[in-house]
Each structure stands twice: as structure tokens, then as C-alpha cells.
Homo-oligomer: A and B are copies of this chain.
Amino acid sequence: MKILEDRIRQDGTVLTGNVLKVDNFLNHQVDPQLMNELGQEFARRFQDAHITKILTVESSGIAPAVMAGLHLNVPVIFARKHKSLTLTDNLYTAKVYSYTKQVTNEISIDRRFLAADDRVLIIDDFLANGQAVQGLLDIAKTAQITVAGVGVVIEKRFQKGHQMVTDAGIQLEALASIASFEAGQVIFAQD
């Protein structure tokens, strides 16, 4: 998606350890007009997927997920992140390891919000090692619902999340796909 790639080139910063900092438009300061355009693009790419709900994880996934939900006209559920949970009777839970923060969190979704006939779209800001998406896939499996797609704003294609999602046979749409970082520059995948 050209406007997103342009924005990453203009405002993104490549840090050591293959980290792309985009906190001026995506995950700390947020550009609502851009989020709206991302939401429209997600809706266009998944328009035939019969999505009934969108799942994401707090906090950075919420803005693009809600805009996608606006244009697909479906509810959005953001999984809550916790250090650990004691009472889990009414919750679907999964463990998510964060490579960035080097901690394991539990994520949870209230059981009331997922029904067996749901076809969900998972939306997140980044797909790198795929831990957050894997956590939502685990919850979807437990809840016996169908994951009809995964949409991410930015994927680092060279990390294992991309392969994990496509190996699972799930439609993956990344609005910007990073092939590599070279000398502090972002190299986008060409297809």
C-alpha cells in the first residue's frame, strides 16, 4: 500500500535489532486519517471473506482494527493483556511471549463474545515473530471458531510470523511488507 510505505520511509526509524520505530503515526501517536485508509484497505482485501468479528490485542492493534471494523461493519474485540490471571472461568486465554519486552503475558477474551459460527479476522499493527497472532489463533482454536484471515499493518516478512500464518493456510494481508533492513533503510517486498 503506497501511502503506508511512503509514510514508513518518511517517518519510520530503523533501530538496532531489526526494530522499526513508527510511534509517530501508528503505536503511540496515531494518525486517524491514515488509520481510516488502512481500515478501508483491510475491508477491501477481506470483503469476500464473510467476516463476522475482528480480533486484536490491546493496545496498538486497536486503532487499525476499529477502522477495519467500521468499514467491514462488524464488532471488534480487543484481547486484554495481563501479567497473569487467577480467575479464568469465563475467559478464553492464551500465553503470548513478547520478544521486544522479553516477558510472557496472558491474553484473554470473554467467552460471551465468541460464538461457534463466528468467522474472525485477526488484525494487528505488526507481524514479526507472530506471537500475538499465535495467541489469538490459540484462542480461536479453543473457541472452535474459524479464522478467515489475518491482516497486519506492517509485516517483517523475514521473521517467522509470516510463514507461520501462511503455513496454517490462512489468508494473510500485510499493508506494508518489509523484506529487509539495509544500512538503516527499509527495503519493501516487491510483490
Interface residues of A (CB under 8 A from B): 23-25, 28-33, 35-36, 58-59, 62-63, 66-67, 69-70, 73-78, 80, 109-110, 112-113
B30 pairs with A80, CB closer than 8 A: no
A32 to B66, CA, bound (A): 6
With contacts A58-B58, A58-B59, A78-B59 known, is A66 near B30, CB below 8 A? yes
A33 pairs with B73, CB closer than 8 A: yes
A28 pairs with B80, CB closer than 8 A: yes
A35 pairs with B112, CB closer than 8 A: no
Contacts of A63 in B (CB 8 A): 62-63, 66, 76
A29 pairs with B77, CB closer than 8 A: yes
- Partner of A67 from the list B32, B73, B76 (CB cut-off 8 Å) is B32
A76 pairs with B29, CB closer than 8 A: yes
A78 pairs with B28, CB closer than 8 A: yes
Contacts of A25 in B (CB 8 A): 75
Instruction: Count this chain's copies in the assembly.
Output: 2
A94 CB to closest chain B CB (Å) equals 16
B35 pairs with A66, CB closer than 8 A: yes
Interface CB pairs A-B, < 8 A, 16: A24-B112, A28-B109, A29-B75, A29-B76, A29-B113, A30-B66, A30-B69, A31-B75, A32-B66, A32-B69, A32-B75, A36-B70, A59-B62, A62-B63, A66-B66, A66-B67
With contacts A24-B112, A59-B62, A113-B24 known, is A70 near B32, CB below 8 A? yes
A62 to B35, CA, bound (A): 12
Q: In the complex, what residue of chain B is closest to A62 when comparing beta carbons?
A: B62
Contacts of A113 in B (CB 8 A): 24, 28-29
- Partner of A75 from the list B30, B62, B66, B73 (CB cut-off 8 Å) is B30
Contacts of A62 in B (CB 8 A): 30, 59, 62-63, 66
